[in-house]
Structure 1
Amino acid sequence: MISREQPGQRMPAYADDLERLLRLRRTYEERGPGLLAGPDTPLPVVCTASILFTDIRGFTRLTERFAHDPSGLLDVLNAHLKKVLRSIAICGGQVEKFVGDGVMATFGASGHQPDHVDRAMAAAIGLIGANEALNRRSAADWGFRLEVGVGVASGPVVIGPVGSADRSELGVLGDVVNVAARLVTHAGPGEVLMTGTVYRAVANMLQSELTNQSAVRGRSGSLEIYRMALVGGRGDLT
């Protein structure tokens, strides 16, 4: 398993898993949807990673606004996504997929990143700030503001091909993926919701409040959920 181990610990197994992970990524880049076609498909890899989901608040209302101008909607969305993707890339994240107006990204699932939690939180803060900068430049012309929320969770995931020989993609699956996807649906404008695991890893850098012990829909048990609010993208924390 790829984890935050001290140098020298479990190096043979670690190096083997890291090589398998990199090979899996390379194979997908080469084959794309044909990842499962052929006898030499790389085996799935289990590792510890941080998952980030982000999307636009009120996107349904935004689509209604552009009901007669779908091309305009695409222009606005791509202007926003350009900022999001840059923030993720700067922090060393891997964009796994687009989900409508949202993005799923991983940190620590494409190479050696023992600081993957820090990177995920830096990306979350960065993309909210970048979106605010976009609003300052474009909101007057658009006639509206884009508001975003972020959900971050960290833990074990499995990375491997999902689908069939006819069509497949590289999937990242695990409980933390589901949790991060649920958290983003509850994040308000300019907010990052994170699990207790994430909070404790970055607590020395951030001030966040424990919202409550709550259940995540579709998942048994409750979770510690922390909220970080970046007012106006300036980093004012509550």
Structure 2
Amino acid sequence: MSTTDQTIKNVVLVHGAFADGSGWRGVYDLLTARGLRVSIVQNPLTSLADDVAATRRVLDRQDGPTILVGHSWGGTVITEAGVHPNVAGLVYVSALAPDAGETTAQQYEGFAATPDFVIDVGDDGYGFLNLEKFQAGFAADVDDADAAFLRDTQVPINMSVFSTPVTVAAWRNKPTWAVIATDDKSFDQAMLQHMAARMGAEITNVSASHALYVTQAATVAEVIATAAQKASTQVVAAAR
């Protein structure tokens, strides 16, 4: 195939816990304006297997090499789903990144607590972020009205997902990028940096809250576009 045929034009965006795909709108608009074809996964947040299946369904619809992007819990999802043959590169946006055989919960071990990130868990085992702490813990740099909308449109997550190990780690074999919010109150900063460094990811730090996919959409979109360009080169080289 020619270099033009191998150019990566597809991007799949995967949201995290307590959110849905609509938060990606700013990133979507910026990427589509660049001529990229962007699809957004709507995770059910009912189990790791369910979220991975939802992501694979969208990946199956891509017509060629794809950059797969995950925010927060979405990082665990893309770690498992990213072995899909259409995936040419991975972008982690303040995202979790277990290794094969590890659980998401294990990523927190040895790192500082995040007192502003409070999860209220119901009798059914599903968790919502605490309403009073939501903005401070998740969206500190989002304006009050938009933060309230994010808070009140939360999608609860089955808390058992955090104790489910991933079976594969796509970042072991695929080029990886990480965008890290330096004012993230959902994860300890050292934890985010450790996970990204372990992956060997190309790291971009940006001053933002955990909702950086909303407030720093331009930076996130730029990293994704860069990943598409650089991974395209690797796809072309592999095809020769």
Answer whether TM exceeds 0.5 for this pair: no
Rg (Cα) greater in structure: 1
TM-score by structure 1 length?
Answer: 0.28
Write 1 or 2 for the structure with the bigger share of strand.
Answer: 1
TM-score by structure 2 length?
Answer: 0.28
